[in-house]
Structure formats: C-alpha cells, structure tokens
Amino acid sequence: MALPKFNQAELPVFERGLWSRAWFIVLLCLVFAGVDWEMMPLKVFPFIFVFPLMLAAWNRSLPFALICAVGLSLTRLSHQFAFDEKPYTADEVAAALIRFFVLLLLAALTHIIGKQTRQLRLRVRMLEGILPICSHCKSIRDKNNNWVQLEGYITAHSEAQFSHSLCPKCFKDYYGQESAPEPATKINP
C-alpha cells in the first residue's frame, strides 16, 4: 500500500526544513558539545545534549541517533581526560557510563515514539480522506478502482468489526411492523 505524502505545512516544525537534515543535526551536536565544554566545571549531566539527540532520533534512523549519542558522550569524556590533571576515580567512571547509557536509552525511546507517531499520523490520514462511494449501493471504490462493500472496506482498513441489524424505520418498511418482536425469555426451572 502506497503511503500518502504530507505537505511540509502539515508536519510539526521539528520535522521539516533544516531540523530534519542530517548535516544540520551533526552541526547542532558539535555546537552543543562546544557549549558543554564551557559548562564542564559545573559537573552536571550534559542536559544540553538532549535536544540534538532527540532531534536526531526523531527525524533520522536509530543508528544515526546512536552514533550521535556515542559521539556526544565521547566529547564529554575526552574533555575530562584532556583537561583534568588528576586520574579518573571510580565515581567519575560510573557517572560517565551512566551518562552514556542514559543518552543511548533516550535516543532509542525517542526513535520508537517518533516512528509510532508517524505511523499513527499516516493511519489517521488514510482513514480521514475522501472516499468515493456509490450513492445507491454504498460501495466504495478502492485504489485499484474496484468497488468494495462499505463494511469490507472499513474492516480491511481499520480494526472495526460489523454486526448487522435493522433500524426501526427499515424494520417497518420491510416487515410492516412497528418494531421487532421481543425475544422469548428463557425461564430457568
């Protein structure tokens, strides 16, 4: 099944223009790594890495996002290694590993959420579009120009299931009665 294309205006801001380009995301990672180098004396979690990393994970492939996470983690580690005179303590190594795995997890989760969001957007678009329907028999013309019963089309393109009944007007038109007879109640002995 061919997936519908979206206009740029229909996409969120962070999925269009420069925000979705790989070179721009790499540039953002480098800029934020530079800013992190200036913030290094604060000894905090590199929270500024979150923005370019989530942008990479949302708009690009998972391997690209994981490479960004590894690269950002290594810049922090290399800065500590290059500019700290004292050797690493066990606490600093543990903190570096935690930062590394948190960034990897953030990239993976953001990629999964982004993929699911795009799939939902496509599904909603598919179900919201204009359907060519016969004004007499209510069949729907599919993408192969075949006429399919309404129930079959909706069942094939959604999770909906049908059960059939008659409304009071149709019951009267077809059977000449105001309403269906009451079902017999079963009496338990």
DSSP state of 71: H
Threshold 0.85, pTM exceeds: no
Q: In whole angstroms, give the CA distance from residue 101 to residue 98.
A: 5
Minimum mean pLDDT among 24-38, 40-54, 90-104, 175-189: which range?
A: 175-189
- Alpha-carbon Rg of the chain, whole angstroms? 29
Q: In whole angstroms, give the CA distance from residue 117 to residue 66.
A: 20
CB neighbours of residue 149 within 10 Å: 13
Structure tokens at 160: 């909906």
68-111 tens-digit pLDDT:
888 888 887 787 777 777 777 788 788 888 888 999 999 999 99
Nearest to 31 by CA among 9, 46, 13, 52: 52
